[in-house]
Chain A
């Protein structure tokens, strides 16, 4: 079974630009969660999607948005990039979102904002 894939793996953008990151979950998984990892802050929850609906949202500004498609693939978008948005963005998929033992993370997308 293929794991969670994230594209692109690395991205360099400049302040003010926007970016779209993609996450393809494990086949059969309907829940996709997104996290931001920065040094010293651990992983901060961004949002979770289940069956194309945003079910949960973390404390991030409206510049951070996401969506999920009918095949469970998910994208997140960050508009008007700021230097502080430089981070590793991780997505995780699970069958329903209820069982964390069945949650698997992708390798992440490293975003650098210059």
Chain B
């Protein structure tokens, strides 16, 4: 049962434009969300996170928006750069102590930034 869903397997965007990646979740107990970026032959690297007490978190070119009522979050990359071409994973945790070390991941979105 996939509790975190990324319904777009791929996204192509022009350099300099905005990339918007979407993620939906079903478990209302999730209270912490993360985005990871993954290049081929490397492990995922942490990009940005957001707690359920916030609806927006910004870090440079990356902004994550959380809509708790819709159980939806999105990652905005502005402006997109060729080095942003990678697979992006959305992940979630319910924060319970017996869930420490355990994240639920989406299937990933392959982003290709074209010149």
Query: Which residues of chain A have a CB within 8 Å of any CB of chain B?
Result: 4, 31-33, 35, 40-45, 48, 50, 55-56, 58, 90, 92, 94, 96-98, 100-101, 103-108
Contact = CB atoms under 8 A, between A and B. Distances in A.
Given A100-B32, A101-B49, A107-B42, A45 B104 contact: yes
B108 A106 contact: no
Contacts, number: 74
A105 B101 contact: no
Contact of B107 (A42, A50, A106): A42
Nearest to A4: B43
A41 to B, nearest CB: 6
A31 B42 CA distance: 20
Pairs A-B, 6 closest by C-beta atoms: A105-B43, A97-B101, A48-B101, A97-B100, A43-B105, A42-B107
Nearest to B104: A45
Interface in B60-112: 89, 91, 93, 97-108
